[in-house]
Structure 1
């Protein structure tokens, strides 16, 4: 038996006996619920950031005298800022903790939204959008990993999928009110979630797993007891966390280079592949320019935006209800296939429009395509790729691997959002057929590569993948 296998074997034995039954029965307490609410304020605000550019487009273009090229820079610079934040997101979260990182996020985003709201030219507008992007990039790792680390495994999927629900709700709110509110007022509205989260961070516990990793065992046990309740038996869960962190430190050191060891290749391919396909299916283009797409299809952008927002919320609610019942893989497969179909319908609408065929039906077909896209996207592809990536990365490389996944996602998103206007002007139908092809490829990727993680502790998932990645 190899040395690595000798280390892993006793670790896995902890998950095959009564220990996993004890930890799986951990209760969902009020403290856990409150902590998730505080953390997910930034997720709602992240949805605001994505939904802002679509309804604000005409107002900004008119008031500041920008052209479409200038506005493409404004839209895409959000993702450049997010990329800068994401590069450091994992390391910052490991260095100052999950709560500290979210506090820094709030400061970046508050400053950025104020710069947008009071901007007089494109420079301040882009600067504010860049800062908001930096904040969102920082939070994209800290918020979901915090929730993953504090929640019992029986409800982890549902609570982590609240993030995409809130992001959809944040986008929907701006789709609802954006057409009737000045773009400056809309920017000030985006401050509210951050102003609620900032003081709320003072009242929640730090992640027990992070505290254990930095050697503060007593604080880790105290935080876990607070999360699980004073009368809860936390001995088994504490032992699992301690054993896995000790194992991780033995088998590999921290650092960006350690992520690229062969034993982590499967986790890295799955984690980065999922978040890349999530973007390459057209998310940045369709989300940031939803109103323009609906208007180009010949439908009312105001009515269409409300329909999109409503569809996203209802679909995201279904995703929360089903994720721990049916599992991650089935929802991902359905979601990816649905976005493929939605993009195809959109492409067909513009194709028929170009032929001047069915002029009465093409606007309805266009709206139907965008509703199908957003409905199925919110069901699974919105949040499950991030959930799985947080679940499968081992704790010793979680920070570096999380940063890599975020960078891959944001580069992919920037390419889609920046090129959308240019590709759309070149061939409107072809744009969505390309997105449909990429969504179809994501179906194959999920089918062949992605493991099911439902109902398993983080330590169990990560340890089993290191031994047998194909299971």
Structure 2
């Protein structure tokens, strides 16, 4: 299939065009889109929601990987005779594997599609969890962690992109947030199940999300935008019709997607020098910047080692407190999913980062004061409660915006002809910083809990300024409108 160039597309917009038996005029285009949007909610939302729920099994696997090290730390160290540094290496190796997976994710997703990429990502995840469950020494433990990390690296890029490409514009924010909601569910499940089963059984349970995902992929359509880019005309329109409902007129959306794909030209790669143009460097800077700041906030350090943080705060039932933290994160992310298409991405990011700045500062001060007051005093107990409250509020703030939104914006703003390379670069940067945070968090907490949270406070405060100055609002706009605006 070949698409016409921009000039021919623009000329066609000045006269009626024919598609699937219906005539549309430019003057009625806006009302047609509104009617189509209403129809989508009525007829297509169930189909799209089903696809999102199947794809969300990938982020559940992602979250299970993130949460696994928290409830298993003491048991693995005891059984395999590991040092704190070795366990920190184990915890961080998933990020190393994810960096490799992220580098490959863009190209894999471009060549074999979003569904094929998720199927490929599931295999190393399953093998990795089984390797961990049967490990008798650190080498097998490390190898399994690398394998599951590789799969998670692919999942972390492909799922947000797939959801953004199948969702109608009026539902894209909420559905996009399901990605992060699923991650938090995976984290909570690992925390909760870790209370009842040993670390080997918990690793076997980690196989389940991807084991269900593989057959589930056969029941959902491929991304229509990827099919259009690959020139698969019939498959593209069939996929979009399934997603929007068989009674919905998809003519306007088909035309918009074709126009967007045609405007990028047949060339799928660009020269490095072209990245200097604002249409490329600005969305790339925003996408990478948000994903880096998301990790520099210290969230993975808090989630990976939450049991240790609560123990340092003087909480005797630190594992149970960790499960409670996971449940709170799920609830807060659910609220974010509801708010995403109502308040907008930018406002939620500013509110989220502001809440994190205040709560992290509170936690830092509480930990600093705990070092100078008597351990058994009433003041020490009050400070312990304040530090826990600070961590909980930090996680709530993160879940409201900085958790889900960077992935949504990355999948929305990157131009289609650089999405594979730029998206995998942004995802790789996210995992690189996640590895640094995960590798250093345990050591930093041993050095000074107050100092660790003070560092994270500075990052959260900078994030507020970054969002206020640079991040555009993408609510209520089609992917094609968002990407065209950067020209």
TM-score with structure 1 setting the length: 0.94
Q: Aligned runs of 1:8-407 on 2, under 5 Å?
A: 17-18=30-31, 20-25=33-38, 26-27=40-41, 28-249=44-265, 253-255=268-270, 257=272, 260-263=275-278, 264-299=280-315, 300-356=317-373, 358-407=379-428
- Counterpart of 2:464 in structure 1 is 443
Do the aligned residues in 2 keep the contact of 1:85 with 1:136 (CA within 8 Å)?
Answer: yes
Quote how far apart the aligned CAs of 1:324 are.
0.5
Quote how far apart the aligned CAs of 1:31 are.
2.1
Provide the C-alpha distance between the structure 2 equivalents of 1:12 and 1:336, rounded to a whole number of angstroms: 42
Quote how far apart the aligned CAs of 1:428 are.
2.1
Quote how far apart the aligned CAs of 1:256 are.
7.3
Secondary structure of 1:146's counterpart equals: helix
Quote how far apart the aligned CAs of 1:76 are.
0.8
Do the aligned residues in 2 keep the contact of 1:79 with 1:414 (CA within 8 Å)?
Answer: yes
- Counterpart of 1:412 in structure 2 is 433
Residue ranges of structure 2 left out of the alignment (5+ in a row): 15-25
Q: 1:406-456 deviations in whole A, cap 9, x for unaligned?
A: 011111111111111222222221110000000100010011111111111
When residues 254 and 11 of structure 1 are mapped into structure 2, their CA distance, relative to the original with a 3 A threshold, is: farther
Quote how far apart the aligned CAs of 1:254 are.
1.7
Quote how far apart the aligned CAs of 1:339 are.
1.6
Do the aligned residues in 2 keep the contact of 1:43 with 1:163 (CA within 8 Å)?
Answer: yes
Provide the C-alpha distance between the structure 2 equivalents of 1:310 and 1:18, rounded to a whole number of angstroms: 43
When residues 257 and 139 of structure 1 are mapped into structure 2, their CA distance, relative to the original with a 3 A threshold, is: farther
Secondary structure of 2:171's counterpart equals: helix
Secondary structure of 2:486's counterpart equals: helix
Provide the C-alpha distance between the structure 2 equivalents of 1:32 and 1:258, rounded to a whole number of angstroms: 38
Provide the C-alpha distance between the structure 2 equivalents of 1:423 and 1:258, rounded to a whole number of angstroms: 40
Q: 1:238-277 deviations in whole A, cap 9, x for unaligned?
A: 1110010000126x64257377232311101110010000
Quote how far apart the aligned CAs of 1:8 are.
9.9
- Counterpart of 2:447 in structure 1 is 426
Do the aligned residues in 1 keep the contact of 2:286 with 2:471 (CA within 8 Å)?
Answer: yes
Provide the C-alpha distance between the structure 2 equivalents of 1:11 and 1:131, rounded to a whole number of angstroms: 50
For the aligned residue pairs, the C-alpha RMSD in angstroms reads 2.1
Provide the C-alpha distance between the structure 2 equivalents of 1:461 and 1:10, rounded to a whole number of angstroms: 22
When residues 101 and 256 of structure 1 are mapped into structure 2, their CA distance, relative to the original with a 3 A threshold, is: farther
Provide the C-alpha distance between the structure 1 equivalents of 2:447 and 2:99, rounded to a whole number of angstroms: 28
Provide the C-alpha distance between the structure 2 equivalents of 1:315 and 1:12, rounded to a whole number of angstroms: 44
When residues 255 and 141 of structure 1 are mapped into structure 2, their CA distance, relative to the original with a 3 A threshold, is: farther
Do the aligned residues in 1 keep the contact of 2:6 with 2:263 (CA within 8 Å)?
Answer: no
Provide the C-alpha distance between the structure 2 equivalents of 1:236 and 1:22, rounded to a whole number of angstroms: 11
Quote how far apart the aligned CAs of 1:401 are.
1.0
Secondary structure of 1:153's counterpart equals: coil
Q: Which has the larger radius of gyration?
A: 2
Provide the C-alpha distance between the structure 2 equivalents of 1:211 and 1:391, rounded to a whole number of angstroms: 17
Quote how far apart the aligned CAs of 1:7 are.
9.0
Residue ranges of structure 1 left out of the alignment (5+ in a row): 467-471
Provide the C-alpha distance between the structure 1 equivalents of 2:245 and 2:212, rounded to a whole number of angstroms: 25
When residues 129 and 7 of structure 1 are mapped into structure 2, their CA distance, relative to the original with a 3 A threshold, is: farther
When residues 234 and 120 of structure 1 are mapped into structure 2, their CA distance, relative to the original with a 3 A threshold, is: same
Provide the C-alpha distance between the structure 2 equivalents of 1:444 and 1:9, rounded to a whole number of angstroms: 39
Provide the C-alpha distance between the structure 2 equivalents of 1:424 and 1:259, rounded to a whole number of angstroms: 44
Secondary structure of 1:100's counterpart equals: helix
Provide the C-alpha distance between the structure 1 equivalents of 2:49 and 2:349, rounded to a whole number of angstroms: 26
Secondary structure of 1:161's counterpart equals: helix
Provide the C-alpha distance between the structure 1 equivalents of 2:6 and 2:355, rounded to a whole number of angstroms: 41
